[in-house]
């Protein structure tokens, strides 16, 4: 067993393999996030004119069109699952 003196003067009993595991965990590169294309799917759809006008009003407030459609579909699916 190896002994290590901490910054506060306390001597800790550490095994070399335990220390190596900790260092490996610290130095491990963060997991790569999937690309935008891997997390999203592009679609083309047709909206009724009045729904499109409402969508444009919402977009004018700074919300993205994709976020509006995603939120609406999630809310609709949640409502359907409660039936």
Residue 48, domain member (yes or no): yes
Beta strands in the chain (DSSP E): 2-5, 11-14
Average pLDDT over residues 41-46: 93
Domain that holds residue 78: 44-83
How many domains, the chain?
2
Check whether 17 has a pLDDT greater than 60.
yes
75-78 contacts, C-beta under 8 A, 24 or more apart: none
- On whether both 17 and 50 belong to a single domain, the answer is no
* Residue 11, pLDDT score: 52
* Residue 33, strand partner residues: none
- On whether both 24 and 49 belong to a single domain, the answer is no
Residue 80, domain member (yes or no): yes
- On whether both 57 and 23 belong to a single domain, the answer is no
Is the entire prediction scored with pTM above 0.85?
Answer: no
* Residue 27, pLDDT score: 76
- On whether both 49 and 21 belong to a single domain, the answer is no
Residue 37, domain member (yes or no): no
């Amino acid at each position: 067993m190896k002994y290590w003196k901490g910054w506060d003067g306390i001597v800790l009993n550490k095994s070399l393999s335990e220390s190596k595991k900790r260092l490996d965990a610290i130095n491990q590169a963060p997991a790569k996030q999937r690309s935008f294309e891997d997390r999203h799917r592009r679609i083309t759809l047709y909206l009724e004119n009045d729904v499109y006008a409402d969508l444009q009003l919402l977009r004018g407030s700074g919300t993205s069109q994709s976020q509006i459609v995603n939120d609406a579909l999630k809310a609709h699916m949640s409502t359907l699952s409660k039936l």
